[in-house]
A and B are shown apart, each in its own frame.
Chain A
């Protein structure tokens, strides 16, 4: 059967063989993000030194969209300043609303493949989970694990 869904190779590869799905040492930001209605759950950890994200990782459960999106996000933001990460996050969230330029789309690199989610209202929450969690961390300094059962 032809693969005519938006689950292309980049997305499925990030889901099945994620680069950043593990624990890291020395993280100074750790925050859990949950979508209670569908059970997506990630714990995002970032190591920020002198305003630069020097390392990052996540653990969690959920659909391919939520997990791959977090993985692609980390690919993009590790090595960047907090400010740049937030700017890219803003572009990503606007992409999901269908409000970005071609240049901005390119800046998102692989994460740009989730553009089609803008036509899939039921999956928006999955795609933005990691990004929202990162924003809350970097913008509001929020940390913590809620300890929900994940149900």
Chain B
């Protein structure tokens, strides 16, 4: 291991406390000590109910929470912190758009375009919106390499297309979609563009103003932050038009016996006591990412992807899903082993202390599209190193033999 490998790995207690090669980063990342400590510090020194109390402790809690909002806004280059709504995760962020924007502004016969590679969380909310409003969900189909093209979207756009919702990086293919180009097409036809950034925000620099997306959803837990905190970016003018998603405490101005007026954005979307500890943890995770920088993060992830990918291509009976070019994978390599069910694949990896994910990865329609029942996925984080990849490859090479195939 290089000095940098050791330094990075040293920051993650779980990787020291458990004998494991962790390759399920697309599901959730491990947490650095600095993040764990920041959450602990919040609860040990600053905890009170933010935005309510008129005493110093609550004011400090509010400061922490709003400072975290600014950190998130800066990280994705939002114009101002009011464009960041804290949620539980990307799923909740996407549901917020669906329930607040979709349910209220879509009409019978309107169209929502999503891609076939969307995670269920950027698919099911739109099916529900369609069911409730009479709108129609149309699918942008990808090819076997996992590609979709802005020209395809251009052809699908009609006067009734109101929303286009796409993932920036597919959780199965690892491929990056050209979000800026897709958003441009959507906008030219008067549609709102929603970007699912759950797999991209942790791994590549994302600039919402440059991409010109109307909404961006992402989770803290996939980017070294705690579970239970995520964010929704929305352009201020859109957020202002939208009705609240959840109703309750601290999202109102005035409440009477028969109604209420609501707080300004983003607070009108943050009903109830917020997850201030989580927000502080997410801000610390962003500091952690920034302390290395995306140059180092992407370089490490690309190098490890290349190493794993090149070797995997030469292992008999292993089929890699998606692009034949490692550069298109962003640390995500999904594969099948001929004759071995993915659940057995994952169980054998587990017996060798390598954590990979097996199943449909919350993209069942994509598996149907690819004529696969299920697959196995290894996904890298920048704290992984060559030894992790070597351990993974060793198990993969011997896997069919362990399953009784004589070779």
Which residues on A are within 8 Å of B, measured CB to CB? 1, 3-7, 9, 12-13, 15-16, 37-39, 61-65, 120, 122-123, 126, 149-151
* A5 with B341: CB separation less than 8 A: no
Pairwise interchain contact A150-B403, C-beta atoms closer than 8 A: no
A15-B403, A64-B403 known; A5+B348 contact, CB < 8 A: yes
B394 interface contact, C-beta 8 A:
yes
Contacts A39-B374, A63-B343 known; 7 new A-B pairs at CB < 8 A: A1-B352, A1-B395, A4-B351, A12-B404, A16-B403, A16-B405, A38-B343
Chain A residues in 8 Å Cβ range of B403: 7, 12, 15-16, 64
Q: Is the CB of A1 within 8 A of B398?
A: yes
A150 to B360, CA, bound (A): 12
Q: Closest Cβ of chain A: how far from B308's Cβ, in Å?
A: 18
CA distance A150 to B403 in the complex (A): 23
A9 pairs with B404, CB closer than 8 A: yes
Q: Is the CB of B344 within 8 A of A7?
A: yes
Q: Given A12-B403, A15-B404, answer yes or no on A65-B374 (Cβ-Cβ < 8 Å).
A: no
Closest Cβ of chain B: how far from A85's Cβ, in Å? 27
Contacts of B374 in A (CB 8 A): 38-39
Q: In B333-375, which residues have CB < 8 Å from any A CB?
A: 339-344, 347-348, 351-352, 359-360, 364, 367-368, 373-374
Smallest Cβ-Cβ distance to B406: which chain A residue: A16
Residues of A near B404 (CB, < 8 A) are 7, 9, 12-13, 15-16
> Nearest Cβ in chain B — how far from A52, in angstroms?
33
Interface size on B, residues (CB 8 A): 26
CA A12 to CA B347, docked complex, whole Å: 14
Classify the secondary structure of B's interface with A.
helix
- Contact of B311 with A by CB under 8 A: no
* Interface pair B340/A64, CB less than 8 Å apart: yes
Q: How far is the CA of A144 from the CA of B359 in the complex (A)?
A: 26
Q: B283 → chain A, closest Cβ, in Å?
A: 34
B144: interface (CB < 8 Å): no
**B residues within 8 A CB of A62?**
341
CA distance A29 to B259 in the complex (A): 61
Write the nearest CB–CB distance from A7 to chain B, whole angstroms: 6
Docked CA distance A24–B341 (Å): 25
CB distance from B339 to the nearest CB of A (A): 8
Q: Are the CB atoms of B359 and A5 closer together than 8 Å? A: no
Residues of chain B within 8 A (CB-CB) of A63 are 341-344
Residue numbers in B under 8 Å from A1 (CB-CB): 352, 394-395, 397-398, 401-402
Cβ-defined contact, B343 with A126, below 8 A: yes
CA distance A6 to B344 in the complex (A): 10
Other-chain contact of B373, A7, A12, A39 (Cβ < 8 Å)? A39
- Residues of B40-89 at the interface with A, using a CB-CB cut-off of 8 Å, are none
Once bound together, how far apart are the Cα atoms of A82 and B340, in whole Å?
33
CB within 8 Å of A: which B377-402 residues:
394-395, 397-398, 401-402
* A and B contact pairs by CB, cutoff 8 A, 17 listed: A1-B401, A7-B344, A7-B347, A7-B402, A7-B404, A12-B402, A12-B403, A15-B403, A37-B359, A38-B343, A38-B374, A61-B373, A64-B344, A64-B403, A65-B344, A120-B347, A151-B368
- The residue in B352, B374, B395, B401 that gathers the most chain A C-beta atoms within 10 A of its C-beta is B374
Specify the chain A residue showing the minimal Cβ separation from B342.
Answer: A63
Most A CB contacts (10 A, CB to CB) among B339, B341, B351 go to B341
CA distance A63 to B339 in the complex (A): 10
B24 to chain A, nearest CB (A): 13
Interface centre among B342, B401, B404 (most CB of A within 10 A): B404
Give Cα A38–Cα B373 distance, bound, in whole angstroms: 9
B residues near A38, Cβ cutoff 8 Å: 343, 359, 374
Please judge, given known A-B contacts A12-B404, A38-B359, A64-B340, whether A5 and B373 are in contact too, CB under 8 Å.
no
| Minimum CB distance partner of A13 in chain B | B404
| Chain A residue nearest to B395 in the complex (CB) | A1
Chain A residue nearest in CB terms to B345: A63
Question: In the bound complex, how far is the Cα of B339 from the Cα of A62, in angstroms?
Answer: 10
Residues of B within 8 Å of A151, CB to CB, are: 360, 364, 367-368, 373
In the complex, what's the smallest C-beta–C-beta distance from B404 to chain A, in angstroms? 3
Pairs of residues from A and B, 8 with the lowest C-beta to C-beta distance, nearest first: A12-B404, A63-B341, A1-B398, A5-B351, A63-B343, A39-B373, A64-B344, A63-B344
